[in-house]
Amino acid sequence: MDNLLLMLAPLFSSKLLLVLFFGTLFGLILGVLPGLGPTTGGALILPFTMTLDPLSAIVLLTSIYCAGTYGGAITAVLINTPGTPAAAATCLDGYPLAQKGEAGRALGMATVSSTVGGIFSVVILVFFAPILAQLAYEFGQPEYFALAIFGLTMLASIGEGSPIKNLIAGAFGILISTVGKDFMTSIDRFTFGINELTEGIGFIPVVVGLFAMSEMLTQSTLINQVFNRIALKAIKLPSKDDYKKTWKTILRSSGIGSFIGVLPAEGGTVASLIGYSEAKRFSKKPEEFGKGSIEGIAGAEAANNAATGGAMVPTLALGIPGSATTAVILTGLIIHGVRPGPDLFREQPDFLYGIFGAMLIANILFFIFGFFGAKIFARITLVPNKILWPMIFAVSVCGTYSLNQSIIDVWIMLFFGVLGFFMRRYGFSVVPVIIGLILGELVEGTLRQSLVIFDGNWLMFFTRPIALTFFILSLIALAFPLIRSRKIKKNND
Amino acid sequence: MKNVQKSKRANKSLPFFFKDEFKVSFVIIFISLILLFTTFTFDVVPPILNRGIQPATFPKALLILIIAMTLIIYYLATKNPWKIEKKLPKSFFLTLFSFILFVIVSKTLDFFLAISALSIFVSYCWGEKRLFYLLLVGIIFPIIVFIFFETILGLRFPPGIITNIYYS
């Protein structure tokens, strides 16, 4: 009962309500704009959160996360371009349905299923995060090391890209985290005599560079691309018949999305693809998928929004990001002096339940905004890139500079922008770099501390049951993409 | 699908050192080797102070892992070549050039001027020819951002010919 009251606290604070309102609105705008999205948007807004108290800052970031994930569906349905990667599966049926003159119905289903998925995942978060946090009390340094390794091996199965390329990108992210003074011995590593690098490479320049600047370079190659935008008259709530057809799909995808979200490093993109394919598998009319199936939209959208709450579970309970956007939220927590993990649940329940409540309200708010404002948000896609991206550049540069007031950070951001562009061009996802960077310190720190505990005996890792379980899961995570590709190859043959 | 197969076939006919998979793998391994060499220059902690492993051990292991995995992707690419990417358009190189221009102007003249110059340059190169919109992205919007960061976040921008006028 007390926890429920704590969850409702944001409703009684005008400041938090204002932050929620702004965050949801901003998240929707970011989600609608192709190439932006909650991860880049969260990174861009992170410096601004320094003026807020920790709870308001995290509420702002989580509301951007929830609304941004939904916002991607608007662009997916109307211009066949996912506003966020997580909305890619929504294009498959959303756009064909819009082409049939049913854009309002497609967006109505996307809005309802996103809201249900989002709320479902918050319930999962409220129940499972404290349990996981309780479990984490059993963890010592070796267990955290094994957990971080599990998180990294999960990178192998991110998206449709090459698992080895994802692992290389993840290892590169960890390598970036080693730049600067070694935390145990204060010895300089990879600083090349540059004083500014002794503190290490900051998260914000890397994330803004890899996401925003690399996207700016990508957009520079697409300036002649013309989008066919389908006109939206009004968004329509799904009919009784639509609900009958889709309620099972929505619930199933909500469960799938929440589960996928909980897995370290996975996120909305993987969740929506699995949610979509499972909706097709269970459908009575699988032949309609790809041609404007309402079940397809429901399956993808419920899953990607359900992944938001799921991804917050390991982020808050263990300090392991569940997705790229939660990596930004994790950074937000750290720069505001909040240390995620089991102690957070014991010492600051009001803070945690405030976040849970804010996520719940954000899901309701984006339903209202989406339902009444989808037509207006759809118009945002009309802002030409030649106006939009120079503006994003100005905000990116000032935002990156503002954290440490360092011009070197801006140059690092530009460097990672160029690097991110070429990484994406040659099939290397940039998300593993971010996850690697976040987990790098944890991996190295726990490894070295474990070796001190074990007196340098590596084999001792395998005598700890929890650590051993995570190592076995890591092996499964590495083998899974291999099995999947063989299965696909066999099916094709 | 046909285009992908066509581009894959085209990739097969190129000498190996012109192929993307070779160039990318070569760059990764070359940089990794330089960094690996650098790790041998890190200070070594005396045994009495050393707890666990040396500071260079972890980055060394990572770099060896990266090199090994890159060799694997190159080996796999010899069996299943990557598709050839489209040639990059002029607008890409102009945008890339604007980044370099930004670094030079922000270092030598002024941070704000650099943002302004890049915004106008990029917007123009991407096809915006209307003066009002060029002024909007190049002057009006950067001023709004500048004032916002300066007053609300209390940020002090680095000195330069324009920022000095503002601060004086």
Instruction: Parse chain A into domains and list their residue ranges.
Output: 2-225+247-492
Average pLDDT over residues A397-407: 83
CB atoms B120 and A405 under 8 Å: no
Write down the pLDDT at residue A119: 92
Tell me the pLDDT of chain B averaged across its residues.
83
Give the integer Cα–Cα distance in Å for A19 and A10.
10
- Residue B70 with chain A: CB contacts under 8 Å: 168
CB atoms A398 and B146 under 8 Å: yes
Mutation site for B-interface testing, chosen from A194, A226, A393, A416 by largest number of B Cβ within 10 Å: A393
Which of A50, A167, A395 minimises the CB distance to B69?
A167
Q: How far is B145 from chain A (nearest CA, A)?
A: 7
- Residue B5 with chain A: CB contacts under 8 Å: none
- A434 neighbors A207 (Cβ within 8 angstroms): yes
| Cβ-Cβ contacts under 8 Å for A241 (sequence gap 6 or more) | none
Exposure of B107 by Cβ count < 10 A (0-12 exposed, 13-18 middle, 19+ buried)? middle
- Residue A182 with chain B: CB contacts under 8 Å: 55
Is pLDDT at B6 greater than 60 in this prediction?
no
Count of Cβ atoms closer than 10 Å to residue A370 Cβ:
26
Q: Least CA distance to A397: which residue of chain B?
A: B115
Give me the helix-helix angle, B57-79 and A163-177, nearest 10°.
160
pTM of the predicted protein model: 0.83
Average pLDDT over residues A27-54: 82
Is pLDDT at B132 greater than 50 in this prediction?
yes
Write down the pLDDT at residue B14: 66
Q: Least CA distance to A446: which residue of chain B?
A: B52
DSSP annotation of B140 reads I
- Residue A174 with chain B: CB contacts under 8 Å: 62
Please give the structure tokens belonging to residue A116: 């249900």
Count of Cβ atoms closer than 10 Å to residue B168 Cβ:
5
Q: Least CA distance to B24: which residue of chain A?
A: A426
| Cβ-Cβ contacts under 8 Å for A66 (sequence gap 6 or more) | A24, A27, A118, A305, A308, A359, A362, A363, A366
DSSP annotation of B87 reads P
CB atoms A47 and B35 under 8 Å: no
- Residue B95 with chain A: CB contacts under 8 Å: 216-217, 220
Is pLDDT at A452 greater than 70 in this prediction?
yes
C-alpha to C-alpha distances, A31 to A82, A380, B26, B151, nearest whole angstrom: 9, 10, 37, 28
CB atoms B119 and A164 under 8 Å: no
Chain B contacts in chain A segment 45-64 (CB below 8 A): 47-48, 50-51
Write down the pLDDT at residue B1: 45
DSSP code string of A249-310 = HHHHHHHHHHHHHHSTT--HHHHHHHHHHHHHHH-S-GGGTTS--HHHHHHHHHHHHHHHHH
Least confident stretch, A252-256, A358-362, B14-18: B14-18
What is the pairing mode between strands A180-181 and A188-189? antiparallel
CB atoms B118 and A395 under 8 Å: no
Which of B65, B92, B127 minimises the CB distance to A171?
B65
Q: Say yes or no: A407 contacts chain B, CB-CB below 8 A.
A: yes
ipTM of the complex model:
0.88
Average pLDDT over residues A233-246: 77
